[in-house]
Amino acid sequence: MYKLLIVDDEHYITDGLYRTFSSLSEFSLEIYRAYCAKQALDYFTRYRMDIIITDINMPIMNGLEMIAEIKNRWPDCRTIILSGYNDFEYAKTALKYGCDFYILKSDGDVPLIDAVSNCIKRLEKSIQEKQWTLQLESDLSKTHSLLQQNFLAKLEKTLLSSDTSVSDYIKNASEVGITFISDEPFFLVGCRIDSPVSPELSLPSLLIEVNIILQDCLLNKAQCTPIYSEDSEYMLWLIQSLEGEAPETFLPYINGSLERFQYTCQSNRSILLSLLTEPDFFSFHEIPKYCHKMRFLLMYRLSKSEKMVLSSTHFFASSSNIVDSETTLQYLNNLEQSLIQNDKEIFHRLLINLLEKMTDYTNPDLQFLLFHNLRNIFFNAIYRNNRQNDFICTFHSMSFFHIPFEKASANATETFLSIEKWLFSEDMDESESIRRYNKTIKTIHRYIKQHLQEDISLTTLAEQVYLNPVYLSRIYKQLTGQKLSNYITRERIERAKTLLAEPQYKINEIGYQVGYESPAHFSRAFKKTVGLTPAEYRESLL
C-alpha cells in the first residue's frame, strides 16, 4: 500500500481529488489531503509519503519550496505538480526540483490518474534496481567481524550503572568497528524472521542481507547497529539519528522507513519478517534493559501464528502492569489458582506477565522473589498430581528445583515455559494472540462509532492500538473478512438511516453528521450502499 498526499489551498480541488482517488479500486492507496504547505510538511514529519500531488501557487510557502523540503527528508517520494499555469518556465523549474510530472488542472482527471499510476511503477522499479547493489553488499558483509557481535552480546547482558563510563564503552566499540554517537539517544527495533530459511541462503547470510536492506531504507540518516547471533531468527537494531533530529520527529521517520523495509524484503527477496519498535528513546546505560524487554516480547509475546507484524512494543506489553511486590504476590496467587482450576489461558497470560517482570535486571530483589515463588508453584503442581516420574522422563532430573538462583536464573524463562507446556500438554500461544487481536478489533470499532462525524484515517485508527497503519489494514481484513474502509462506510450509512427516520433533521445536516463533507458525496455513497438516495429512503419510511 502506498501513501498519496494531495495539497492545494483551494479546498474544492483538494476534496474533489480526494474523492476521486478514494473511489479508484485499481490502486492500493492510503490517501491524505492538506490545504497548505505547512499542513503537508507536518504530515511528512510524522509519516512517510510515497506520492504527492501539489499546486504551485499557495500562500506562505509555494509548492516548489515545499517539494524541496520533502525531497530532503524522503528523496524517494514521487511528486506531481498540478498547476493552472501553462507556462514553460514553471514546468522547467518543476523538473529542476525533481518533479516527476507537470499536469495542467484544465486537462481533467485522466492524465492525473495516469501520472499516479506511473509514479507507482517508478517506485516499484526503484526498489528492484537496488537489488544488485544489495547483493554485492551482502557478499561483502559476509566477512562481518565476530568481534562486533561478541562485543554487542556482552553489552546487552551487562548491567550498566549510572557510574559506568560511556566514553570507555564507545572507545572499545570503535576498536571493533562499531560507531556510537555520544550523547545521542537510542531507539530500538526488533525483528523476527518469519519465512523458512531456504537451502540456498543460510540463516547468517539472510540476517546480513536483511540488515543491508534496512540500512538502505534508512537513507543514510541514521546510525544503525545490528545485534544478532548466527543461530537465531531474532535480530535487534540500535538506531541513532546522524543529524541530531529530535526524537518526536525521528521516531515517525523510523516507522515510515520500516514500512518500506518490510515491503522490500517481502516483494523483492521473498523474506517475511515481523518488526517491533520501541517508541521510547533511551540512553546508553539503558541498552541492556530495553534489549532484554525487546527479546522477551519477540520470543514470548509475538506468537508463531502471527506473521508480518509491524507494531510497537506498547501493543504487546500493554497488559504487563505489575508495579510492586504486593501486586506481584497477587499475580502469583492467581497463577496458582488458575493452575489448580486447569484454566490454561489465564495461567499462560499470568505466567508471561510474571516472566517479563523477572527479566528486569534493575530489580534483583523482585527477580529473586519471582523465581522462587514460580518454582514452588510448579513443584507443588507436579507432586500434587503425582507426576514426578513423568517429569524426570521428560526433563531427565528434578535438579531445576534445587539448584541456586544464580545458576538457574539464566535459562529460567525457557525452563518455566517448557514445564508449562508439559503440564498442559498444549501451547497457549495462539489463543493469547487471538484474545489480543479481538481486543484490538473492539477498540477500533468503538473509536469509529464515536467519531463518525470526523475524517477517520487509517493512521488515526492505527495510533489507537499501537499498530502500523499498513499492518492494521492487512490484519483487519484477515480477521474480519472486510476492508476497514468498508466497515467505516457501513457504520456511516447505518447511522444515517437512523437519523433519516427522524424528520427534524435535514438531509444535508445528516450527511455532515456522519462524516460526508458534501451533500453530493453523501448521496452517492448512500445510494451505492442502500440502492436509494437519502431522500428516496426517507420517503420509503413514510
- pLDDT value at residue 321: 40
Summarize the confidence of residues 109-133 as an average pLDDT. 84
Shortest CA distance to 191 belongs to which of 320, 352, 311, 279? 311
**Which of residues 247, 270, 302 is at a domain's end?**
302
384 and 337 inside one domain: yes
**Residue 307 corresponds to which cell in the numbers above?**
506473521
- pLDDT value at residue 220: 81
152 and 298 inside one domain: yes
Band the pLDDT of 9: cuts 50, 70, 90: very high
Residue 310 lies in a domain: no
**Taking a C-beta distance cutoff of 8 angstroms, is the pair 5, 53 a contact?**
yes
Shortest CA distance to 457 belongs to which of 3, 29, 31? 31
Band the pLDDT of 427: cuts 50, 70, 90: very low
Is the pLDDT score of 433 beyond 60?
yes
* C-alpha span between 214 and 362 (Å, rounded): 31
**519: CB partners within 8 A, 6+ apart:** 507, 508, 511
452 and 412 inside one domain: no
Cell 564503552 belongs to residue:
169
154 and 57 inside one domain: no
Q: Which of 11-15, 127-131, 254-258, 476-480 has the lowest mean pLDDT?
A: 127-131
Residue 388 lies in a domain: yes
Is the pLDDT score of 188 beyond 90?
yes
Summarize the confidence of residues 112-135 as an average pLDDT. 82
- The DSSP string of 182-240 is TT--EEEEEEEE-SPPPTTS-HHHHHHHHHHHHHHHTTTSEEEEEEE-TT-SEEEEEEE
* C-alpha span between 444 and 472 (Å, rounded): 10
* CATH number, domain with residue 21: 3.40.50.2300
Band the pLDDT of 44: cuts 50, 70, 90: confident
* C-alpha span between 215 and 202 (Å, rounded): 20
Per DSSP, the three-state class of 51 is strand
Summarize the confidence of residues 69-90 as an average pLDDT. 84
Which one has a higher pLDDT value, 25 or 326? 25
Is the pLDDT score of 326 beyond 60?
no
27 and 172 inside one domain: no
- pLDDT value at residue 205: 81
Cell 564507545 belongs to residue:
170
Summarize the confidence of residues 24-37 as an average pLDDT. 89
Which one has a higher pLDDT value, 200 or 29? 29
* C-alpha span between 540 and 542 (Å, rounded): 6
**Residue 430 corresponds to which cell in the numbers above?**
495462539
Handedness of CA 54, 55, 59, 60 (dihedral sign): positive
Residue 318 lies in a domain: no
* Bridge partners (DSSP) listed for residue 32: 5
- The one-character DSSP state at 401 is G
The predicted-structure confidence for 10-22, as pLDDT tens digits, reads as follows: 999 999 999 899 8
What is the separation of C-alpha 319 from the centre of its chain, rounded to a whole number of angstroms? 18
Is the pLDDT score of 293 beyond 90?
no
- pLDDT value at residue 154: 80
Residue 435 lies in a domain: no
**Residue 498 corresponds to which cell in the numbers above?**
437512523
* C-alpha span between 252 and 47 (Å, rounded): 6
**Residue 148 corresponds to which cell in the numbers above?**
562486533
* CATH number, domain with residue 535: 1.10.10.60
Percent of the chain topping pLDDT 90: 35
373 and 406 inside one domain: yes
- pLDDT value at residue 145: 56
| C-alpha distances in Å from residue 46, one per residue of 73, 215, 223, 255, 484 | 11, 20, 20, 9, 22
Residue 439 lies in a domain: no
Max Cα distance, the chain (Å) = 89
Residue 270, exposed/middle/buried by CB under 10 A (0-12, 13-18, 19+)? exposed
Angle between helices 203-217 and 247-269 (to 10 degrees): 130
- pLDDT value at residue 161: 63
**Domain range for 176:** 146-302
**Residue 79 corresponds to which cell in the numbers above?**
511528486
Band the pLDDT of 324: cuts 50, 70, 90: low
**Which of residues 427, 461, 496 is at a domain's end?**
427
In the chain, the number of structural domains is: 4
**Taking a C-beta distance cutoff of 8 angstroms, is the pair 307, 195 a contact?**
no
Maximum average pLDDT range among 295-304, 383-392, 436-445? 436-445
150 and 298 inside one domain: yes
Summarize the confidence of residues 110-135 as an average pLDDT. 83
Q: What is the pTM of this model?
A: 0.64
**Taking a C-beta distance cutoff of 8 angstroms, is the pair 335, 347 a contact?**
yes
Is the pLDDT score of 214 beyond 60?
yes
Residue 522, exposed/middle/buried by CB under 10 A (0-12, 13-18, 19+)? buried
Summarize the confidence of residues 353-377 as an average pLDDT. 76
The predicted-structure confidence for 453-482, as pLDDT tens digits, reads as follows: 998 989 899 999 988 888 899 889 988 999
214 and 87 inside one domain: no
Residue 8 lies in a domain: yes
Phi-psi region of 269 (alpha: psi -120 to 50; beta: other; left: phi over 0): alpha
Summarize the confidence of residues 225-248 as an average pLDDT. 90
**493: CB partners within 8 A, 6+ apart:** 514, 525, 526, 529, 530
Cell 524541496 belongs to residue:
68
**Taking a C-beta distance cutoff of 8 angstroms, is the pair 461, 472 a contact?**
yes
The mean predicted confidence, pLDDT, of the chain is 84
Summarize the confidence of residues 70-97 as an average pLDDT. 83
Summarize the confidence of residues 176-198 as an average pLDDT. 89
99 and 160 inside one domain: no
Phi, psi of 122 (to 5 degrees): -65, -40
**Residue 509 corresponds to which cell in the numbers above?**
445536516
- pLDDT value at residue 428: 42
- List, edge to edge, every strand of the sheet that includes 29-34: 29-34, 2-7, 51-54, 78-83, 101-104
Band the pLDDT of 225: cuts 50, 70, 90: very high
* C-alpha span between 464 and 484 (Å, rounded): 14
Summarize the confidence of residues 250-261 as an average pLDDT. 92
Question: b/e string for 53-85 if b means 16 or more Cβ within 10 A?
Answer: bbbbebeeeebbebbeebeebbeebbbbbbbee
Is the pLDDT score of 403 beyond 50?
yes
- The one-character DSSP state at 425 is T
265 and 213 inside one domain: yes
276 and 209 inside one domain: yes
125 and 158 inside one domain: no
